[in-house]
């Protein structure tokens, strides 16, 4: 009997311990968040990290809205209401705006810097004219266009990651910016370098007498800066593998003389469909007829 009683007592204690242990496991509060962690795929020693998205226990993600403030926004272009480029900025890093807090901003306008105040309500925004240095940045500078446009901003849109769009009053034109830390949209071996035109081959065989007067620089944001003899301009381009399309540039229209190759140069660029880098490291732009080619050397 005594042995049986002891056995029953031990069983009772065991059951009680199990109940206590079960009681220690509780359901997390409904506002508790779960963060993902790094994992390693099977057969691959390189860990990957699932994006850290806070998710409540009812499955609703806690989404953080894109931020307007504390981001350096680089000016890429002015577009019209249909999305066509009106002005293309060949050096976006020289034209920036940073909304430093809820009411103040700073800017760089080519060789000038300054700052001011702004106010916003929803997606409506007003940028007050600021104080600025007053250095002359050259005839080709877009500093005055940049600052005049900022004064006419009425709304903003940051719904696309890494992109800021500022709408300009009733015209429907838009200033398009990208985050300075955003991934470049164009990756090709000739990007972020300046090239001089040295020759054309095909139906026309041309050895360019003054290559430094015919240059092009391709930027990682999809824009290019062009010199065509006495004229200068900017435009945009796209690359897909070895395919390339160079859209017409917004060029100055100075007469460069009867001997100038400016028209031949710009017309050839408009017919380019692909590219290659030859054995000498030269950039070769191939036209619709693959026998027609423009050859460039890289400016050191």
User: Average pLDDT for residues 6-17, to the nearest whole number?
Assistant: 50
Based on its alpha-carbon atoms, the radius of gyration of the chain, rounded to whole angstroms, reads 30
Q: How far apart, in whole angstroms, are the C-alpha atoms of residue 189 and residue 56?
A: 45
| Long-range Cβ contacts of 97-100 (<8 Å, 24+ apart) | 97/72, 97/73, 97/150, 97/177, 98/70, 98/71, 98/72, 98/73, 99/68, 99/69, 99/70, 99/71, 100/69, 100/70
Has residue 24 got a pLDDT over 50?
no
* Predicted local confidence at residue 16, as pLDDT: 52
Domain ranges of the chain: 72-179, 193-298
pLDDT, residue 252, reads 85
pLDDT of residue 162: 83
User: Under CATH, which architecture does the 193-298 domain have?
Assistant: Beta Barrel (2.40)
pLDDT surpassing 50 at residue 279:
yes
Q: According to the model, what pLDDT value does residue 33 have?
A: 42
The more confidently predicted of residues 242 and 67 is 242
| Whether residue 27 has pLDDT greater than 50 | no
First-to-last CA distance in the chain? 102
Q: What is the mean pLDDT of residues 89-118?
A: 93
133 and 155 Cβ atoms separated by less than 8 Å: no
Select the more confidently predicted residue: 13 or 107. 107
Report the alpha-carbon distance of residue 191 to residue 139 in Å, rounded: 26
CA distance 260 to 135: 34
What's the confidence (pLDDT) of residue 183? 58
With cut-offs at 50, 70 and 90, classify the pLDDT of residue 97. Answer: very high
- Please say whether the beta carbons of 207 and 108 come within 8 A: no
pLDDT at 284 over 90: yes
- pLDDT value of residue 182: 64
Average pLDDT, the chain: 81
- The three-class DSSP label of residue 14 is helix
Structure-block tokens of residue 19: 């109940």
The whole-number pLDDT of residue 108 equals: 95
pLDDT in tens, 115-129: 999 999 999 999 999
pLDDT at 189: 92
Nearby residues of 116 by Cβ (< 8 Å), 6 or more positions away: 104, 105, 107, 127, 128, 129, 130, 131
Domains 72-179 and 193-298 share a fold: yes
Instruction: Report how far residue 64's alpha carbon sits from residue 44's, in angstroms, rounded to the nearest whole number.
Output: 32
pLDDT at 3 over 60: no
pLDDT at residue 21, as a whole number: 46
Give mean pLDDT, residues 83-87. Answer: 80
CATH code of 72-179, in short, is: 2.40.128.270
pLDDT tier, 236 (very low <50, low <70, confident <90, very high otherwise): confident
Binned at pLDDT 50, 70 and 90, residue 99 comes out as: very high
pTM of the model: 0.51
Q: State pLDDT tens for residues 153-209.
A: 999 999 887 889 999 987 889 999 988 776 566 778 999 899 999 999 999 899 999
Predicted confidence band of residue 13 (pLDDT cuts 50, 70, 90): low
């Amino acid at each position: 009997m005594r042995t049986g009683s002891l056995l029953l007592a031990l069983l009772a204690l065991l059951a009680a311990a199990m109940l206590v242990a079960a009681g220690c496991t509780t359901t997390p509060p409904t506002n508790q968040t779960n963060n993902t962690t790094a994992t390693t795929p099977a057969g691959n020693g390189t860990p990957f990290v699932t994006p850290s998205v806070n998710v409540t226990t009812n499955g609703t993600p806690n989404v953080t809205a894109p931020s307007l403030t504390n981001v350096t926004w680089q000016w890429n272009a002015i577009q019209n209401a249909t999305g066509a480029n009106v002005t293309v900025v060949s050096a976006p890093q020289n034209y920036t705006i940073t909304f430093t807090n809820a009411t103040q901003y700073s800017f760089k306008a080519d060789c000038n810097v300054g700052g001011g105040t702004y106010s916003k309500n929803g997606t409506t925004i007003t940028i007050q004219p600021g104080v600025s240095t007053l250095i002359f940045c050259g005839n080709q500078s877009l500093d005055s266009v940049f600052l005049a446009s900022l004064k006419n901003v009425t709304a903003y849109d940051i719904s696309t990651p890494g992109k800021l769009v500022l709408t300009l009053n009733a015209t429907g034109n838009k200033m398009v910016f990208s985050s300075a830390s955003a991934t470049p949209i164009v990756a090709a071996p000739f990007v972020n370098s300046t090239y001089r035109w040295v020759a054309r081959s095909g139906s026309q065989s041309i050895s360019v007498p003054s290559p430094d007067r015919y240059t092009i620089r391709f930027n990682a944001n999809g824009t290019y800066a062009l010199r065509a003899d006495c004229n200068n301009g900017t435009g945009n381009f796209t690359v897909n593998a070895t395919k390339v399309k160079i859209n017409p540039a917004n060029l100055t229209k100075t007469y460069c003389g009867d001997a100038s190759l400016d028209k031949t140069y710009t017309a050839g660029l408009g017919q380019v469909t692909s590219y290659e880098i030859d054995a000498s490291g030269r950039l070769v732009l191939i036209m619709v007829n693959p026998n027609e080619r423009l050859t460039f050397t890289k400016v050191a």
